[in-house]
Amino acid sequence: MKITPEQEKSIITEILTRLDVSKEHSEIVAEVTLDADLKGFASHGIGRFPQYIKGLESGTIKTQGDVEIEIETISTALINGNHLFGHVVAYKGMELAIEKAKENGISMVGIHDSNHFGVAGYYSDMAIKQDLIGIVTANTEPAVAPIGGKIPILGTNPIAIGVPSNNHYVSVDMATSASARGKLLEAVRRGEDIPENVALDCEGRPTIDPKEALKGSILPFGAHKGYALAFMIEILAGPLVKAAFGTGVKGTVNPLEMCTKGDLMMAIDPSQMGDLEIFKDQVDAFISEVKSTDNVFIPGDMEVRNIKKHQTEGIEIDDILAQQFKDISQELDLDLDRIF
């Protein structure tokens, strides 16, 4: 079945407000979740929502409290998310990064004691909308074994970079693994195989069974290059921001464990290096050069196509996910029959 973007936001906000999540926080979670689904990152969209409900029920996601700034300078800050929704904490973190970058040209905001924040590109988009370059990284529960090893130690450790432009959406949002773990979880729910050359089972053998892959490890993208990038992000989003690292990272997949991962948000003001419009014109000139050959894509093009498609055709909900939402609505005495 398919639902409209408006229905998705309505479902999420209705459920969260019934669970005593504030209107502001519910709307942020709904907006970030919908952004993932519109862009085609279904593994980080509404399919993850039942995980958040379990987190709320188990107390690993808090509904009360505030984001706390522990350390602050004119261009940096360290935030304690106090285990609120990761979407809310990351949103507040990037808001602060944007404010500081506008004042000082560049900023860096670290986050710990947060939760899974959905799709990283939403927060770099926040910077783009303010004519800033946005950079977002995070570490996650171990899923990737070091090159030559069998035991997962590194996370899928995403990175998102967004750049302002006059004529294009310029954004990359990617895991440093061959697949985001959310895509494996999605494949399990749908009873589908995963592509070859993505994961190994617990014995280090290639597998296309997502259940075996989740017991084993996901391969880094680009072999040693993806491994090296994930390794560095583990440090930037771990020790640098007073978060856990390696096998100490918990709670990004298992909602019954308190989340210990970290995030790092950065914003850069191009106008501090020269005229902003000239910068954006040069970005567009570069894109025109890249696209001078037919059928060439730039980072962000597929997301733009997916947004148009999903706004028109709706967002796919598989039967198992639909049933999960029916169960949630029954437990909360909500009437979602109009949708499911």
Assign 256 to helix, strand or coil.
Answer: coil
- How is residue 123 written in tokens? 């927060």
Q: What is the pTM of this model?
A: 0.93
Please check whether residue 98 is in contact with residue 104, taking contact to mean a CB–CB distance below 8 angstroms: no
Whole-angstrom Cα distance, residue 246 to residue 142? 6
Give the CATH architecture of domain 181-219. Answer: 2-Layer Sandwich (3.30)
What are the structural domain ranges in the chain? 1-58+301-340, 65-177+223-299, 181-219
Q: 164: Cβ–Cβ under 8 A, 6 or more apart, which residues? A: 128, 131, 132, 133, 170, 270, 276, 279, 280, 283
Residue 180: what pLDDT?
Answer: 81
Give the distance, in angstroms, between the CA of residue 18 and the centroid of all CA atoms in the same chain. Answer: 25
- Rounded to 5 degrees, what angle do the CA atoms 305, 189, 207 make? 90
CATH of 1-58+301-340, one of 1.10.1530.10, 1.10.150.20, 1.10.3720.10, 3.90.226.10: 1.10.1530.10
Query: Tokens 């950079």, residue?
Result: 135
Question: Are β-strands 133-138 and 262-268 bridged in parallel, bridged antiparallel, or unpaired?
Answer: antiparallel
> Strands 106-112 and 76-80, how do they pair?
parallel
The top-level CATH class assigned to 65-177+223-299 is: alpha beta
Per-residue tokens: 121: 């590109």
Q: Give Cα separations from 71 to 74, 75, 88, 313 (angstroms).
A: 11, 11, 19, 46
- How far apart are the C-alpha atoms of 93 and 271, rounded to whole Å? 22
pLDDT along the chain (340 residues), means of 10: 94 95 97 97 91 96 96 98 98 98 98 97 98 98 88 95 98 92 85 89 88 89 91 98 98 95 98 97 98 95 97 92 90 79
pLDDT of res. 311: 96
Does 1-58+301-340 match 181-219 in CATH topology? no
- Choose among 257, 283, 53: nearest CA to 163: 283
Distances (CA, A) of 165 to 135, 174, 282, 285: 15, 20, 9, 10
User: Which amino acid, 91?
Assistant: Y
Q: Report the alpha-carbon distance of residue 123 to residue 132 in Å, rounded.
A: 12
Q: Which residue has the tokens 């498609």?
A: 309
